[in-house]
Every structure is written in structure tokens, then in C-alpha cells.
Amino acid sequence: MGNAKELFSQMPEKDSASFNVMIDGYVKSGDMGSAQSLFDSSGDMGSAQSLFDSVPERNVVSWTSMIDGYCNNGDVDSARLLFDVMPERNLFTWNAMIGGCCQNNQPHEALKLFHELQMGTSFEPDNVSIVSVLPAIADLGALDLGDWIHQFVRRKKLNRLTKVCTALVDMYAKCGEITKARRIFDEMSEKETATWNALINGLAVNGRAKEGLEVFLEMKDKGFKPDEITMLGILSACNHGGLVEEGKRWFRSMVEYGLTPRIEHYGCMVDLLGRAGRLEEAEKLIESMPFEANGIILSSFLFACGYAKDVTRAERVTNKAIKMEPWNDGNYIMLRNLYATERRWRDVEEIKGLMRRKGAKKEAGCSVIEVDSRIWEFVAGDKVHPQWEGDHETESQIGPMK
């Protein structure tokens, strides 16, 4: 199978027959984990589950492979069902489940699992565990837990690993601790493109746009080639700093690095132009895109139209936005408020009726706070927490770490 795998990896084109031969070989040689992993790489989890169910003896590798497959396909619920019933788990299984929750926007679940791993098992988190859980900490702004992770990394001497330090830079930057992020960055003996990206993006979103651009120039001087994420960070820095002409120049320069602007890059430029009041230029850019504008771009441009009190343009954009996202209450509210400013009360009422007909509802705002290393999520009027009469805080908690 070693020789077969080497030959298979060298094939310029693979069809279902070549995959079937390799899978059959792994099954006959008893390596169900590799067979499952290879099968999961067509992305057909229904067939993968059927194959898994037909295996008479499953080991932790095949279970983990299924969990990883479901997570990669966005089905965290199915992954969690398997995780909960599997007879034994190893650290790879925990890491797959934690990482899967993070990549599918379930940061609370990721932190709960990490806490379980720490307090309820004999396994000790490794570098993969740390890199997997840090995005959840960043999403929730759980700075106390982030500091605990950082101390753990130092104790276990994991701070020598580039990917771990890069994740710490990203976490601290997203939690608003850009000074700590910069300190870790400066102490790193080896950096990769992702490390530079984390700092550039962090500086941008923390209002230090010019410093972010300076780091970008330093990155180039050090011989690192920027990628799509780098350029998104640069455009974000220009956006936060109101640097319109500089943003346009860097956007045009992407082709010099062999990069094709994605919709996120166009979105950043539309936002930059819109915030600067250059609505006609922003609209022309939207029309020139090689793909259809998404809801984020249209909502961003609509906000700019509202800020500039350009009712005609706002009406035109709203019609497009509502067709794309009829449930998005923000688009209706922006135009409704604009009508109200102009004292067009009949139009205000029409927008309200349109919202009801389209089923658009204003989402309740949610806040997350951290108290004594515990994360609390709450909304206005929530009564879930036992102490709601005293502090009105609610919902899920992540306990302290070992």
C-alpha cells in the first residue's frame, strides 16, 4: 500500500476507479482509517456513513475520520453525535471536534469541549489543541482564558512553535490587546506569511492603520510574498484609516503579486469608497465586478447611501438587497430611517408592511462578557440565569481551567 499510495499521489488526474482501487486496498490490508479518510475526500458523507456502518470493527481512527469529515462539511451536529457515542477517544478526536466547532461558528461549544478535555480526561492539550481553540477565544473576546492559554503555552514551551505563536498574535489582536500581540510577534524567531497577516489585520481593526501599512512594507522587505489575506488586511487598514487613494493603489497592485481580487477585496473597496462619500465611484465598482454582489456588499453600500442621504440611490440598492436577502431587517430599516428623515411617512409605513410580508424581523442584540474566567452570553430581558434578578446575566458558562 505504501508503493500504491506514492503512485496514486503522483497521478495528475484521478477518477472514481482509481479511488476505488486505493480504498479497496486499504480495506483489505485492514487500514480502515486511511480508507475512510480517502473516501471522505469526495465530500460524500452519506456514502461515507454507509461505508462506516458496514465496517464490522471500527477503531478510533475511523471514528475520528468520520467526525472530521462531518465537520469539514459543516454538519457539526452529526459529528457531535458520533463523538458522544464513540467507545474511546484520543487527543486527535478531541482536537477534530474542537476545531470543527470553531470553523463552524460554534465558539461556545469549542470552549466547553476544551474545558472537558482539560478537566475530564487524562489527555493534555498539545499544539494542535491550542491552535484549534484560540479562534473561539478570539470570537468571544474571552481575554482571561486567552491569558491562561498563553501561560500554558509558555509552561509547556510551545511558544517555540510558529503556528502556536501566530494563533496567539491573532487572538490577542482580535481581543483588542494589540500591544501583547505585537510583543509576541517581535519575540518570534521564525515567522510565516500567516503571522504577518495576523498582525497587519490586528493593527488595522484596532485603529492603527498606518502602523499596519508599515508592517506590510517590512514584510515585503523581509522577502515574504503577500497573499489574498495579506491584501485584505491592507485594504482593511486603508478602510479604517480613510486612506482612499492608497487603498485604490494597493487594490490595483494585486495583479503585480499574481493575485486575483476576490469578492471580499471588492467589498472592502466598496466600503472604503462609500464611507468617503464617493458613491458613484463605489456603484461603478460594484457594476464592474466579475461576479454578482453579495448581501454584505449591498448592505454596506446601502449604509453609505443612507449616511449621505442619497434617497434615490438607496431605493435602487434596497430593491436589489431585498431580492437577495428578504429576511435581512437591516436593509429595510436603513431605507425606513432615511424616509423618516425626509418626513415621507407613507413610505415609512410601506416599508413596515413590506417587512411583515417578507418575514423580516429585527434580531435581538446579544452581548458576551467574561467574569472570573467564565463566559456569559445574554440578551435584553433574558431570565435564564439563576441570578437574573440581580445582574441580568445569562446562559452558558465555561468553567476555570486547570
Asked if the model's pLDDT at residue 91 lies above 90, the reply is: yes
Give the three cell numbers for residue 379. Answer: 440578551
d(CA 114, CA 237): 33
Is-contact 211 248, C-beta < 8 A? no
Q: What is the pLDDT of residues 231-272, one digit of tens each?
A: 999 999 999 889 999 999 999 999 989 999 999 999 999 999
Q: What residue spans define the domains of the chain?
A: 193-250, 262-363
Is-contact 131 165, C-beta < 8 A? no
CATH dotted code for 262-363? 1.25.40.10
Confidence tier at 396 by pLDDT (50, 70, 90): very low
Lowest mean pLDDT among 3-12, 119-128, 203-212, 234-243: 3-12
HSE, CB side, 13 Å, CA atoms: give it for residue 308: 20
pTM check: above 0.75: yes
Q: What is the pLDDT of residues 339-393, one digit of tens each?
A: 898 899 998 998 888 888 877 666 556 666 666 556 566 666 555 555 555 544 4
Lowest mean pLDDT among 72-86, 329-343, 383-397: 383-397
Q: What is the pLDDT of residues 29-77, one digit of tens each?
A: 777 777 777 776 676 777 778 878 887 778 888 899 889 889 988 899 9
Q: Which long-range contacts (CB under 8 A, 24 or more apart) does 40-44 make?
A: 40/65, 40/66, 40/68, 40/69, 40/72, 43/72, 43/73
